[in-house]
Structure 1
Amino acid sequence: MRVGQGGSGPGAHTPDGSAIEMYEQAEANGEDEFIDKAIDPKSSILELGCGTGRITRPLLARGHQVVAVDESAEMIARIPETETIQSTIGELRLDRQFDVVLMMSYLINVADDAERLRLLETCAHHVRPGGSVLIQQQLPTQLAEPVVLEREHSRMEISDVEHLPGNKVAATITHTRNGRTWSQQLLTQNLTEEHLTGQLTEAGLQLAEYLTPDTSWVRARPI
């Protein structure tokens, strides 16, 4: 497991502690509709950190062409509907570019500047001139304090919250679905606009706009 990250519960886990079985049960929660409205019809999309295809499949259904990337062979084995590539994001270097590079799930909030820069350099390498890089970032309120969220068949608990220097936060997230429980330990970093724009520039990108009023979704473009 990576430093500051780990997972427990039934089934296999990825290097960052993500439980494959849990993510396989997860469904899109309107993200595909949001992304579809933010990009052109029938866009070519490079989805970084696709997991088990929670968003991949709805985007395919909306007519987009998606190449799905994840470091876990077990994750991408769940997405036979499209081209998949097993690779870490930082090491990925394809000889082609895409209309859209999509990096969701707060991957940008990795608590290491050097690794974050590698992620952004991968985005910059693969987006075509005039294309878009769509990034979902964590908000400071999301892991601010312990909380329990319950739905009809699921429960999520955020616990062990520790605020660390440099806008970093450590926490444990525990999911219970259909009587099965998984826990994941996280270490993340909340980004100021100055920090984010500085690293975007270093990677060859520029902040074009915030797609949501709360700044959780960012559009960047090649410089």
Structure 2
Amino acid sequence: MEVTADGSPVDVYLLLPPNGEAEIVHAAVPPDASILELGSGAGRVTHRLIELGHEVVAVDDSPSMLGHVRAETVCARIGDLRLGREFDVVLLASHLVNTERDADRLAMLAAARRHLAPGGQLVVEWHPPAWFDTVESGQGGRLGEVEIELADVVRDGDLLSATVRYAARGRQWHQEFTCRRLDLDDLLTSADLTFGGWLSADRTWFAARPRRRG
């Protein structure tokens, strides 16, 4: 089984279909927007964004994941990214902003900001605070042909750790993770961003823009 540095099983991500993420982004951004996708994985969202008419540059630190992406790719850690280019939209999905490490989160947001064109926007998918209060072991569902179940949920202050169990085609995988509860105002202030509005009814997606100077 091929697994990335953060524990993501590549075979599972190849089986997972898009789940409406690209449509949320598409509805929030200009037509034919240039998009820098941070943490693209194997292109599950990338390919749908391209179908919707956007030019996408996919960034991931896993060559194994990027080998399946049908778009321009960059293999790099998000926080280290310096392309010398600007984009209409920077996409930070997959709850990456909820990383347990504050330094990693600040580095990701700084990378997003330095790649935004004037007037551009950052689109973020996160775990809102309410999720941390309600999520429990045993929750899950089916996405495409993959059965997904959350297990071993443990809370420790603002941190939540759990294991995601996947099953498909007679095989099973698991991925452990730890994420941090965030205050939205503190998050935006730390990155010198302003809130641009909720993009989904469940408030798991929002837009942000660089704070104006002067």
Does TM, normalized by the shorter one, top 0.5? yes
Q: Using the alignment, how far apart are the partners of 2:108 and 2:97 within structure 1?
A: 7
TM superposition shift of 1:141: 2.1
The superposition leaves residues 131-162 of structure 1 with CA deviations (integer Å, 9 ceiling, x where unpaired) of: 01000001342672112434384322211111
When the two chains are superposed, the root-mean-square deviation of aligned CA atoms in Å is 1.5
* Structure 2 residue aligned with 1:13: 3
143-152 or 45-54, larger mean C-alpha shift: 143-152
Equivalences for 1:20-31 in 2 at 5 Å?
Answer: 20-31=10-21
Task: Indicate if the aligned counterparts of 2:49 and 2:56 stay in contact, CA closer than 8 A.
Answer: yes
Q: Residue 219 of structure 1 corresponds to which residue in structure 2?
A: 207
Is 1:155 the counterpart of 2:147 in the alignment?
yes
Alpha-carbon deviations, 1:153-197, whole Å to 9, x = none?
4322211111112x1101111111121111111110121223222
For 2:29 and 2:73, the matched residues in 1 are separated by 21
* 2:91 paired with 1:102: yes
8 Å contact 2:138–2:149 — kept in the other structure? yes
Q: Is the 8 A contact 1:200 1:207 kept in 2?
A: no
Stretches of structure 2 lacking an aligned partner (at least 5 in a row) = none
The Cα shift of 1:121 comes to: 0.0
1:93 maps to 2:85: no
- List gaps (5 residues or longer) in structure 1: 1-10
Superposition pairs of residues 1-223 of structure 1, within 5 angstroms: 11-79=1-69, 81-139=70-128, 140-141=130-131, 144-151=135-142, 153-165=145-157, 167-201=158-192, 205-223=193-211
Deviates more, 1:140-149 or 1:172-181: 140-149
What's the TM-score once normalised by structure 2's chain length? 0.92
**3-state SS of paired residue (2:88):** strand
The runs of 4+ residues in structure 1 deviating greater than 4 Å are none
Q: What are the Cα deviations for residues 191-213 of structure 1, in whole angstroms up to 9, with x where unaligned?
A: 12232222232xxx222222223
SS in 2 for 1:171: strand
Distance 1:130 1:150, change over 3 A: closer
CA–CA distance in structure 2, aligned partners of residues 112 and 150 of structure 1: 28
State the SS of the aligned residue for 2:200.
coil
The percentage of aligned residue pairs carrying the same residue is 37
- Which range moved further: 145-154 or 54-63? 145-154
Q: How many residue pairs end up in the alignment?
A: 208
Deviation of 1:68 (Å): 0.4
1:50-108 deviation digits (Å, cap 9, x = unpaired): 000001111111111000000000100101x3110000100001111000000100000
Q: For the residues of structure 2 that align with 1:14 and 1:41, how far apart are their CA atoms?
A: 33
Contact 2:16 2:146 in 1 (8 A): no
CA distance in structure 2 between the aligned counterparts of 1:82 and 1:149, rounded to whole angstroms: 31
Equivalent residue of 1:147, what SS?
Answer: coil
Q: Are the equivalent residues in 1 in contact too, given 2:36–2:58 (CA < 8 A)?
A: yes
